[in-house]
A and B are shown apart, each in its own frame.
Chain A
């Protein structure tokens, strides 16, 4: 029986591509119990983690069933004392030798996964800095020229099929960078630089979160990870590098004026305008972002106006002051301007 279990587990342990009926089974269970992004991997690291989880889960389920069947057999079907020889074999074999072998196989199988989870990137480098409670995102220049860094916030775009190096830092407290669909999490520590790499295998938009409690709005510190085909990514990065579009309509021009006269530029940058501060998120292409307030709200007119009027009421502890004194017209004009920052 022991040999049969090991024989049944071995193809699982060695095979990178499980037979298709197993794939269907795991997909079905994932959908049925809504297991979430970790079990619906879209990146190289996450695929390894999900495979490991499935092997452990199915292996544990098989072992549990076998032990229960043995209990039923010994207590109900055939309740008689075992011979000393069989009892010793059961205790030493089942309690000692078998677990040592299984744990040894698992250890030998999983240890090489650890360096595989930390392999360096082969192209682009993105520096992400955890702030309370948002993410500063910088796409570094390939030649290391800091002046060519593309600054963004609260959204990370990645090319599919490439291994992007992620350099992580933190401002005041510890955060943790986690996109469950793509890879495991990595802590961001003030005064230190940590790193990881992301190699997406599917395009799409995936949720990223802060996975280390970092203060009152920790639960509202999220972001979108958008995976694009490489040509689309290159086009997007080229557009992101450009300064902000000039306001086109009267309302947008009025909004740009409100932005500057209300002092928004004391914290925010809109490249191509006098607003150049780096205290809050860069807003140069804010209108093209999917979400507002670090992955917490839809980036729509009502939410944007509400955010400007009383940000801390939507996100406790947020350092952005409330602009409740703005007239409805000014608020609407500012909203048009922000929406136009594509």
Chain B
């Protein structure tokens, strides 16, 4: 009996006295047993595939030996992290990641512009058609998109080079060119993401009070003025939130894309963390498990800090209502 009293107090503090204030936690858990049953598969999967691997992070502080296992391997402390910060390769990977993310940050306005344009389309059928078309690439795999790029740009089978040859020019091997690889990657990403990215802005635009536009029209404002003076200021909070969220992913690149576009000639431009990790541990079965884990852990930690930071900024600035 004495055990039950504090629990009840805690329960009331949590503001959940709904289903009988006098029931113990155990009783309430029993009451919800079927609801727990629904949640258990998800919890088990999260534990098995999201939390269990975290044990593997210990490898970053060991000289991992697959035969000895994670618990039996030699403990080396921060050695791998020290190596990491003196590794020229590490700085190359960091640079490549930041360059690719930075370039994709430059294309940030593209979905906003698309949303503004789509919003001005008069015919609903036409708008539906455009939307159907521009959302499609989001659902295509990178294998498909890289294949399309291949058909467009490959030196023998690519459409662009066929036209170039027809016009009497030499074919250019875009896919193996250090100059072209970044533009290609950025264009691929824009092509894939522009439509999908515009949805959130279209929603924001749809939420603007139509009376504002009405008033502006009566005052003789042109369409352009309406866009610059009403639409853009009204969706600015959404834009800011999306920009901040995007900044939070600056240490990550779309790995499958980079992995598929990679080849021996552009390797120095596309070597990012995951590619290095994959090539030096899983792909080759080499003994660099520990070092690769350390690199991955560094990336994860930076990523997490950025996400927390950006979340903190958005909440602090009072934009939480937007998302």
Do A and B pair up? The answer is: no
Chain B interface (Cβ within 8 Å of chain A)? Answer: none
Interface residues of A (CB under 8 A from B): none
